[in-house]
Amino acid sequence: MKQENAEKRPFIQTPSQTVGPYFAYGLSPAQYGFDLPELFGPTLAGPDCPGEPLLLIGQVLDGHGQPITDALVELSQRDAQGQDSGRALDPVFRGFGRCGTGTLTDGLYAFHTIRPGKAPGQVASCLHLTVFMRGLLTHCFTRAYFADEEAALEGDPVFQAVPGHRRSTLLARRAPDMGAHAWRFDIHMQGPRETVFFDL
Amino acid sequence: MTTSSPLPLLVSRDWQSHPPYQAPGYKSTLTRGPQQPLVVVPSRLGEPSVPVFGLDGLRDIDRDLTRNARRNGEPLGERIRVVGRVLDTVGRPLPHTLVELWQANAAGRYVHKVDQHDAPLDPNFLGAGRCLTDAHGRYEFFTIKPGAYPWGNHPNAWRPQHLHFSLFGQAMPCRLVTQMYFPGDPLLAYDPIYLEVPEKARTSLVADFALEETREGYALGYVFDIVLRGPLK
């Protein structure tokens, strides 16, 4: 390896750049129908996975309220028992998935998973989402909490760290029109309902 | 059994290295980049770990984009070998970490259905690959030098030649998606995506040409080291 590199570059963090509009065949090839095995897709839980099934579904919207059809959403979560499942290729449950917004109608993304449990000491359960898109030079981290966990949310240190008037942007809500196990979580990049993004 | 070993404190995101959300020169940031301040997370308790691959997860051919999508011959264009190390900010290598790569073909065309640029597709080139770093944090790809291509940001806008990289690092906050550029590309001086990176960090996105990394008679060598956030100590 070239030695000058270390001298020329004193280990500053490599800058982020946009994922661009053409990430699909690299990052989500099977979802978009490309002929390459997919490492991470929209299904995190297999049929034998213990826990309450969950369809997390939503749109990513721009400052005009228009759905963005070239965004990529990544989901990280714990399993139903609150355990961490770091294995990428586990057929029963994978703690990580990806879904682009370019294959369903209306720019929807949809993850097939299970409702997450809580790690020891964790107050409210949540889903961890990261969003990427053309026009976003650095990705954004957010969380989807469950609207039916009111009591836990009252005591959750992260949820409570969010200014009160913005907390509702972090709530996934049941969407019975989209299925018995469907929860809706829209991500607003801008505007009066701009989703809270975290500085991790 | 559920374990709950405390998460390591991480070096924070250095906004003197990363580009801003609102970047007037890059038009689509104006309707897509968030405008509210980020909220600091007081506790990372419960944060899931990043996905981990065993040795069975990837095929060796996945890191050779000149071979992984052949149908009836070799892809067209200039073969290159891109190597580098994945490090944290104090220079510690990250072994066995996933590196994903995607790019345009030699003519500047992406396989993606949305790309309508009037340049030829190459039936023998997909433009996507991935590998794990070795025990010393090193990665290696063989591929084709991508072409420049026009885009709609402003009149006569062309993206410089680039490769897209995606990495996870050691924890969720370390995630990085970036682009590698080529030394001496005259389009860098006109590219808002590149120029929105703070000046201090900008040139770290430009690979070094390295004759010693060249495979003689086969592929020109480039070196691109990638530095991710890591544990504070």
Give the tens place of pLDDT for each residue, A69-91.
999 999 999 999 999 977 777 88
User: Which domains does chain A possess?
Assistant: 15-188 (2.60.130.10)
pLDDT for position B5: 59
* Close Cβ partners of A69 (under 8 Å, ≥ 6 residues apart): A101, A102, A107
- CB-CB contact of A78 with A145 (8 Å): no
Size of the A and B interface in Cβ pairs below 8 Å: 280
% of residues, chain B, pLDDT over 90: 90
pLDDT for position A4: 46
Q: Angle at Cα A103 formed by Cα B23 and Cα A53, nearest 5°?
A: 105
Residue B71 falls in the annotated catalytic set: no
pLDDT for position B53: 80
Distance from A138 to chain B by nearest Cα, in Å?
Answer: 7
Distance from A70 to chain B by nearest Cα, in Å?
Answer: 9
pTM of the entire predicted model = 0.96
Contact across the interface for A133 and B98, Cβ inside 8 Å: no
Q: Answer yes or no: is pLDDT of B83 > 50.
A: yes
Residue B159 falls in the annotated catalytic set: yes
Average pLDDT over residues B115-135: 94
- Output the 3-class SS for chain B: CCCCCCCCCECCCCCCCCCCCCCCCCCCHHHHCCCCCCEECCCCCCCCCCCECCCCCCCHHHHECCCCCCCCCCCCCCEEEEEEEEEECCCCECCCCEEEEEECCCCCCCCCCCCCCCCCCCCCCCCEEEEECCCCCEEEEEEECCCCEEECCCCCEEECCEEEEEECCCCHHHCEEEEEECCCCHHHHHCHHHHCCCHHHHHHHECEECHHHCECCCEEEEECCEEECCECC
Q: Which residue of A has its CA nearest to B137?
A: A1
Q: Which residue of A has its CA nearest to B53?
A: A88
Residue B162 falls in the annotated catalytic set: yes
Q: Answer yes or no: is pLDDT of B3 > 70.
A: no
Residue B154 falls in the annotated catalytic set: no
The full set of domain ranges for chain B reads 71-228
* Close Cβ partners of A102 (under 8 Å, ≥ 6 residues apart): A24, A32, A69, A70, B114
Give the tens place of pLDDT for each residue, B176-203.
999 999 999 999 999 999 999 999 999 9
Tell me the C-alpha distance between B170 and B205, whole Å: 21
Q: What is the rounded end-to-end Cα distance, in angstroms, of chain B?
A: 28
Q: Which residues of A touch B30 (CB under 8 A)?
A: 63
Q: Answer yes or no: is pLDDT of A58 > 80.
A: yes
Taking alpha carbons only, the member of A116, A132, A108 closest to residue A185 is A108
pLDDT for position B20: 98
Catalytic residue selected from B162, B181, B222, B229: B162
Give the tens place of pLDDT for each residue, B155-172.
999 999 999 999 999 999
Average pLDDT, chain A: 94
Q: Is the ipTM of this complex over 0.90?
A: yes
Residue B136 falls in the annotated catalytic set: no
- A73 against B1, higher pLDDT: A73
pLDDT level of residue A62 (50, 70, 90 thresholds): very high
Q: Which residue of B has its CA nearest to A61?
A: B32
- CB-CB contact of A26 with B146 (8 Å): no
- CB-CB contact of B68 with B75 (8 Å): no
- B3 against B29, higher pLDDT: B29
CATH superfamily of B71-228: Aromatic compound dioxygenase (2.60.130.10)
Distance from A176 to chain B by nearest Cα, in Å?
Answer: 28
Q: Per mean pLDDT, which of B5-9, B14-18, B54-58 is the most reliable?
A: B14-18
Give the tens place of pLDDT for each residue, A155-167.
999 999 999 999 9
Q: Answer yes or no: is pLDDT of B4 > 80.
A: no
CA quadruple A52, A57, A63, A68: dihedral sign: positive
Secondary structure tally for chain A: helices H, strands E: 4, 10
Average pLDDT, chain B: 94
Give the tens place of pLDDT for each residue, A133-182.
999 999 999 999 999 999 999 999 999 999 999 999 999 999 999 999 99
